[in-house]
Chain A
C-alpha cells in the first residue's frame, strides 16, 4: 500500500511539478516576477537572523513564483490523498510535495543556468540578469562562477515550498483556512502600503498614523507587525464561526415559529438594512474628504465603470444582447461634452456651455445612437450581433480620430480645455482645529474632487433605474428575450421596442459616464475609447455576475479598482484577465455576486442535500 502510494506520489509530483514549473517560467519570462519585485511586502523577513542571507525582504514577485510552487505542492498532496484512504498518511503527501517542488524548481533553475551562459534575451526580452538574480536569491551574482550553488539554491527553495504546500494540506481544514486568511491579509496589507500612505485620514489622525508607523517601514511591513497581523487575522477567522453559529442559533429560535425561506423581513431587519445603507451612504460622502485625492481618483474611475457596467448589464445581462462596441456610447457622451463645452478656440463648436447644459444633449444623442445601432441589428443574434457592435464601436473611434472631423473633434490631438463642472469658492471651515478637522480635513472644494459627487449621484440614480426596470414588465420582457427570443415574441412582447429600449437605456448610462469622464479629465483623446474599454466593462459584468446589479459594483471594484492599486499589473492586465476569467468560469461561473435567483437556487440545492 505504502509503496503504491509512493509510486503515486512520484507520478503526481512529476505532473504537478511540470505544471507549476511551467507557470513559474511563464510569470518569469513575461516579466511579472521582475515587475512585482518592486512591491515589497515584508521588510527583513527573517529579522536579525537573515542578516547574512540574500533574502532581505519578501516582495510580490517572490510571492508570485514561489507561491505558484507552493500551490502546486498543495494541489499534489490533495490529488494524492483524494483517492487515498480516510486517514491521510503524511509521508507520501510530503514526498509528493517535495517532488513537485523539485520538478517545478528545476525549470527556473535551468533557466538561470542557461541564461547566465547564453543570451536568451533575443528570444525572451525579459530574460535579463535582474530576473536571474531574483530567481536565485542573488546567488547568480555572489555565488560561484559555475552557478551550481544558484541552481541548487533555487531547487532547494522550491522543494521547501512544495513540502510546505503539502504540509498545509495536511492541516485540519479549519486551521488551514485560518492560516490562508492570515497569509492573505498580510499580503493584501503589504501590497496596499502605498495606498494607505496616500490616505489623508490616516495621516491626520494621530493614532492611525502611529499604527501605520508601527506596522510599516519605508519598504514593506515590519516583520513583527506582519506576524502579529497574521496571528490576529487567523485567530479572528478561527473564532468567527463560533460567534456566527451563536448568532444563527439565536435567530433560529426566533425563526422557528415563522415561515421557512422567503419570509418577509421583520421590522428589525428592515431597520438594520436601512441603517446599513445609511452608513454606506455616509461613508461614500465622506470618502473624498477622508481619503484624499488619489483614492478618490480611483473611486471616480470605478464609479464611471460602474455606470457603464450598469448600462451594459441591461443590454447583455438582462436582455442577452452581446454588445462589444459599448465604448461607442461612452465616446459619444464624452465627445458631446467636449465639443459643446471646450474653451479651446481651435476645436468644437465654441458654444462654451457648461457640463450641465450639455448633459441633456448627451442623453438625447446617446438615445439616438442606441437606436441607430439597434435598428440594423434587430434581426441578428449572438455572434453576429457581437461582430456588428464591435464594428460600431470602431466606427465611432475612427470618426473621432479622422481628419475630416478634426475641426469638431480634434482628431488624434483630442479635445482639451474642457472646463470643470463647478467653480466653487472655498467654504470657510466652521469648526477648524478640533477633532472634526481630522475627520473631514478642510472643507475645501479645492479637494479637486468636485466631480466625485456627480459621479456618485449618477451611479446611485443608474442603479435605481436598473433596479426599477429589472422588477417591471420591461425587465421581465428583457429576460424573456434573453432566454428565448421566439417565445418572448409569442408572449406578446414587441421585440423591436424591447430591444431598442435596452440599447437606448444602456447607451444613456454609458453616455453620462463618458460626459463625467470628459469633465473629470478636462481633456479627451480618441485613444481612450478603444476596444479595451468595451472588454473591461464586459469582463467586470461577468466577474460580478451576469444580470446582477450589486455584481456590477463588486466587479468594477475588482476589475477597475484593484489594478489601479497595483500599477505593476498594468502591463499584465490582459494576461490576468484571461487567468481570472478561466478560473471564474471553472470555479464560480455565476460570478462574485450572482443575481438573486441564481443565488436562491444554489441555496435551495444545498438545502436539499442537507434535508432529505
Chain B
C-alpha cells in the first residue's frame, strides 16, 4: 500500500440533512484504472467534487501521494498538484476555440510574468510557441487534429468529450477523474474510448478514476471497482467479484431480485459472493447483510429513499 496515489479516509459531505457522502474510504494505487459505480444519486459526483475541491468534506481526509491534504485546498491548487477531471455534463469554454480551450488547461504550466507579456520578452514568445504546439499536440492525441480553430460549442458531441479530456490532460495530471466519459456514445465510440483510456494509463502513466453507468465498459476496463449507494461504500473488488455481490445487485435491481439471485449464486459458488464485502474496508452493515441475507439494519442516509441527489449534477455550479 506504499504507492497509493489517492487515499480518501472517512470523507463525509452533507447538504443540510442529506448525507451525500458518508464516511467513505477510497484507496487508489498509482497506475490503476479504478471505477466508482452506483445508482443515480449515490454520491459519486459529490465524491469527485470533494476530491477536486469543488466541495470541502465536513469530515475525513483526502491524501494525494501520501502527503498533500486535498481537503483544505482550493480547486486550482489541487489541479496544480496533478488532479484533473472531466464532467458528467460536458463543461467546455463554449465561446473559445478548441485550441484555446486546451491552452487554458496549460495555464498552470506557463509562467510568463506580466512584464514579460507586455514587453513580449523572448522567454514569453518561446513559451507561447510551446503552448500552441503543445495544445495542437494534445488535440492530435485525443484525435481532434485539424479541428482546433472551431469554437468548442460547434464541435459534435463526441468531439466535445475528447476535447474535455485534452483540456484535462493539458494540466499534466497524475490522476484523471472521468465522470461518465462515454455517456451518450454509441458502441463504436465507446470501444474507442475504452482503448483511449487504456492508452492514457499505459503510455502516459496516468492513474484513472472513473464514474460510469455503462457496465460493459466498467467490467472491461476496471482493475478495481467501488460500489457506492446512499453515499456509502457497499462493495469493492475486482469486476468478477462485484458482479457476484448480492448487495450490489440489490442496490441496482432491488431487494427481491437480490434475494432471488443470491440463492442461485450461493448455490453455484458457495462463499465466492461474500469475499468482496468481507474486506477490511467494507462496513459492518454490509457484513450483516451478506451473512444473514436480510437487508441491512438502519438506512445509511436520511429517509430520502431513492430520491435523486440534487447535488449530483453540474459539478459544483452551486
Nearest-neighbour CB distance to chain B for A482, whole angstroms, equals 8
Q: Which of B162-182 contact A (CB under 8 A)?
A: 167, 170-171
Given that A468-B118, A491-B105 are contacting pairs, would A601 and B124 also be in contact in the complex, using a CB cutoff of 8 Å? no
Which of B72-80, B246-254, B282-290, B293-301 contacts its partner? B72-80
Other than the given A483-B95, A489-B74, 12 more pairs (CB < 8 A) read A473-B117, A474-B114, A479-B100, A483-B96, A484-B91, A488-B104, A490-B52, A490-B84, A492-B76, A492-B105, A492-B171, A493-B104
With A469-B117, A472-B124, A484-B93 as known contacts, state yes or no: A491 contacts B104, CB within 8 Å. yes
**B36-44, B147-155, B232-240 - interface stretch:** B147-155
Shortest 6 CB-CB distances between A and B: which pairs?
A: A492-B108, A483-B93, A492-B79, A472-B117, A489-B75, A480-B104
CB of A494 closer than 8 Å to a CB of B = yes
In the complex, the number of residue pairs spanning A and B with C-beta atoms less than 8 Å apart equals 103
Cβ of B128 within 8 Å of any chain A Cβ, yes or no, is yes
Q: Mark A11-39, 1 if CB is under 8 A from B, else 0.
A: 00000000000000000000000000000
In the assembled complex, which residues on chain B have CB atoms less than 8 Å from the CB atom of A262?
149
Is the C-beta of A597 less than 8 angstroms from some C-beta in chain B? yes
0/1 interface trace, chain B 284-317, chain A, CB 8 Å (1 if under): 0000000000000000000000000000000111
Known interface pairs A483-B94, A487-B91, A492-B80. Does A476 touch B120 (Cβ–Cβ under 8 Å)?
no
CB distance from A481 to the nearest CB of B (A): 9
Which residues does chain B contribute within 8 Å of A474, judged by CB atoms? Answer: 114, 117
Residues of B within 8 A of A491 (CB): 76, 79, 104-105, 107-108, 167, 170-171
| B84, closest chain A residue (CB) | A490
Are the CB atoms of A601 and B167 closer together than 8 Å?
Answer: no
Q: Does B218 contact A (CB under 8 A)?
A: no
Q: A597: which of B54, B151, B317 is its contact (CB, 8 Å)?
A: B151
Choose among A261, A473, A484 the residue that contacts B110 (Cβ–Cβ < 8 A).
Answer: A473
**A604 B150 Cβ-Cβ under 8 A:** yes
22 A-B pairs within 8 Å (CB atoms) are namely: A472-B117, A473-B103, A473-B106, A474-B114, A474-B117, A476-B100, A477-B107, A479-B93, A479-B96, A483-B94, A484-B93, A486-B54, A486-B91, A486-B317, A487-B93, A490-B85, A491-B108, A492-B76, A492-B80, A492-B108, A492-B171, A494-B74
Name the B residues within 8 Å of A472 (CB-CB).
112, 117, 124, 128
In the complex, what's the smallest C-beta–C-beta distance from A494 to chain B, in angstroms? Answer: 5
Q: Given the complex of chains A and B, what is the CA–CA distance between A476 and B154 in angstroms?
A: 19
Which residues from chain B contact A494 at a C-beta distance below 8 Å? Answer: 74, 76
* A600 beta carbon closer than 8 Å to chain B: yes
- In the complex, are the beta carbons of A597 and B97 less than 8 A apart? yes
- Shortest Cβ distance from B85 into A: residue: A490
Contacts of B80 in A (CB 8 A): 492
Does B94 lie within 8 Å of A493, measured CB to CB? no
User: Is the pair B107, A493 in contact by a Cβ cutoff of 8 Å?
Assistant: yes
Q: Say whether, besides A479-B100, A484-B93, A473 and B149 are in contact (CB < 8 Å).
A: no
Rounded to whole angstroms, the CA-CA distance of A261 and B148 in the bound complex is 13
How many angstroms from the CA of A347 to the CA of B317 in the assembled complex?
A: 51
Chain B: residues with CB nearer than 8 A to chain A? Answer: 52, 54, 74-76, 79-80, 84-85, 87, 91-97, 100, 103-108, 110, 112, 114, 117-118, 120, 124, 128, 131, 149-151, 154, 167, 170-171, 315-317
Interface centre among A474, A483, A490, A604 (most CB of B within 10 A): A490
In this complex, what residue of A is CB-closest to B109?
A492
CB nearest neighbor in A for B171: A492
Total residues of chain A contacting the partner, CB 8 A: 32
Determine the residue in chain B with the shortest Cβ distance to A487: B91
Flag whether A465 is at the interface (Cβ < 8 A).
Answer: yes
Report if A486-B131 is in contact (Cβ < 8 Å); known contacts: A468-B120, A491-B167: no
Once A486-B75, A489-B75 are accepted as A-B contacts, the answer to whether A473 and B107 lie under 8 Å apart by CB is yes
Contacts of A490 in B (CB 8 A): 52, 54, 75-76, 79, 84-85
Task: Give B68 Cβ to nearest chain A Cβ, in Å.
Answer: 15
**Chain A residues within an 8 Å CB radius of B131:** 473
Which residues of B have CB within 8 Å of A471? 128
- Cα distance, A501 to B107, chains bound together (Å): 15
State which residues 323-357 of A face B: CB under 8 Å. none
Within A429-473, which residues are at the interface with B (CB < 8 Å)? 465, 468-469, 471-473
Give the residue name and chain of the B residue nearest to A600 (CB): B149
Cβ contact within 8 Å between A465 and B118: yes
B91–A492 CB distance below 8 A: no
Whether A492 lies near B117 (C-beta < 8 A) is no
B76 near A495 with CB under 8 A, answer yes
With both beta carbons as reference points, the residue of chain B lying nearest to A546 in the complex is identified as B95
Establish whether residues A486 and B316, one from each chain, have CB atoms under 8 Å apart when the complex forms.
yes
A477 — which chain B residues lie within 8 A by C-beta? 104, 107
Smallest beta-carbon distance A537→chain B, Å: 22
Q: How far is the CB of A483 from chain B (nearest CB, A)?
A: 4
Which chain B residues border A486 with CB–CB below 8 Å? 54, 75, 91, 315-317
| CB-based contact A597/B95 at 8 Å | yes
A494, closest chain B residue (CB): B76
Q: Which residues of A contact B154 (CB under 8 A)?
A: 601, 604
Instruction: Please give, as numbers and ranges, the residues of chain B lying within 8 Å of A468 by CB-CB distance.
Output: 117-118, 120
Check A476 against B74 for contact (C-beta < 8 Å): no
Tell me the residues in window 487-517 of chain A with beta carbons closer than 8 Å to chain B beta carbons: 487-495, 501
Collect the chain A residues with CB atoms within 8 Å of residue B100's CB. 476, 479
A447 to B250, CA, bound (A): 89
Interchain CB contact under 8 A, A492 and B107: yes
In the complex, what distance in Å separates the CA atom of A469 from the CA atom of B117?
7
